[in-house]
Chain A
Amino acid sequence: MSIMKLSIGPQHPISAHFRFLLDVDGDVVLKLEPDVGYTHRGIEKLAEKRTYLQNLPVIERVNSYCDSAGTMLGYLEVIEELMGLEVPERAKYLRVIAAELNRIASHLYAASLFSVATGLETMLMWPINDRELILDLLERLTGQRITYTYQTIGGVRFDMPDGFKEEALKRLDYLEKRTEDYYKMLLWNHTFHMRTKKVGILRPSDAIKLGVVGPNLRASGVKVDVRKDEPYEVYDRFDFSIPTGKNGDSYDRLEVRFKEVGQSINILRQALKDIPKGPIKKWVPPIVPKGEAYTRVEAARGEFGYHLIGDGSMKPYRLKISPPSFRNLIALPHLCQNIPLADVPIIYISLDLIPMDVDR
Chain B
Amino acid sequence: MIGLEFLILGLDFPQFIELVLKVLIFPGLAFPLLFAIIVIWFERKFLARIMLRIGPLHIGPFNRTGLLQPIADFIKLIQKEIIVPDNAHKLIYNLAPIMAALVASLSVAFIPYAPKPGGGYWMIFYTPFSLLVILAIFTARPFIIIAAGWASNSKYCTIGALRAALQLLSYEVPLALSLASIVIMSGTFDLAKIVEAQSSIWFIILQPIGFIVVLIGMMTEIARRPFDIPFAEQEVVFGWPTEYTGTQFALIMVSEYFDLCAVTSLITVFFLGGWSGPAIPLLNDISPILSGIFWFLLKMAILTVIIIMGRGIFPRVRIDQLLDAGWTIGIPLAILQISITLLTAQWWLPLVRGG
Contact = CB atoms under 8 A, between A and B. Distances in A.
Contacts of B317: 191, 194-195
Nearest to A119: B316
A168 interface: no
B234 A13 contact: yes
Residues of A contacting B: mostly: helix
A117 B321 contact: no
B52 interface: yes
Contacts of B236: 341
Interface in B288-319: 311-319
Contact of A6 (B155, B234, B315, B321): B155
A192 interface: yes
B209 interface: no
Contacts of A24: 159
Contact of A342 (B52, B162, B237, B319): B319
A120 interface: yes
Interface stretch (A32-40, A80-88, A123-131, A140-148): A123-131
A27 B226 contact: no
Interface in A8-22: 12-14
Nearest to A8: B235
Contact of A191 (B51, B159, B229, B314): B314
A119 B225 CA distance: 8
A321 to B, nearest CB: 30
Nearest to A186: B315
A342 B314 contact: no
Contacts of B232: 119, 342
Contacts of B18: none
A192 to B, nearest CB: 5
Contact of A120 (B235, B313, B318): B313
A191 B226 CA distance: 8
Interface string B148-192: 000000010001001100000000000000000000000000000
The residue in A116, A121, A124, A343 that gathers the most chain B C-beta atoms within 10 A of its C-beta is A121
Interface string B316-355: 1111110000000000000000000000000000000000
Contact of B316 (A6, A118, A340): A118
Contacts of A126: 51-52
A116 B159 contact: no
Contacts of A6: 155, 159
B285 interface: no
B279 interface: no
Contacts of B162: 27
Contacts of A345: 234-235
B47 interface: yes
B132 interface: no
A227 B47 CA distance: 41
Interface residues of B, number: 30
A119 B234 contact: yes
Nearest to A13: B233
Chain A interface residue bracket vs B: 20 to 34
Interface in B225-255: 225-226, 228-229, 232-237
Interface in B202-238: 225-226, 228-229, 232-237
Nearest to B318: A342
B237 A13 contact: yes
Interface in B38-82: 47, 50-53
Contact of A124 (B51, B229, B321): B51
A56 interface: no
A341 B162 CA distance: 13
A343 B234 contact: no
Contacts of B47: 121-122
Contacts of B233: 13-14
A184 B53 CA distance: 20
A185 interface: yes
Contact of B237 (A4, A12, A118, A340): A12
A79 to B, nearest CB: 41
Interface string A318-360: 0000000000000000000000111111000000000000000
A71 interface: no
Contacts of A122: 47, 50-51, 312-313
Contact of A189 (B52, B228, B315): B315
B49 to A, nearest CB: 10
Nearest to B313: A122
A340 B320 contact: yes
Contacts of B319: 27, 340, 342
B55 to A, nearest CB: 11
20 contacts: A4-B155, A12-B237, A14-B234, A24-B159, A115-B315, A119-B225, A119-B232, A120-B313, A120-B314, A122-B50, A122-B313, A124-B51, A125-B53, A126-B51, A126-B52, A185-B313, A189-B315, A195-B315, A340-B318, A341-B235
List the 10 closest A-B pairs by CB distance, nearest first. Answer: A119-B316, A118-B315, A125-B51, A345-B234, A120-B315, A14-B234, A13-B233, A342-B318, A191-B314, A191-B315
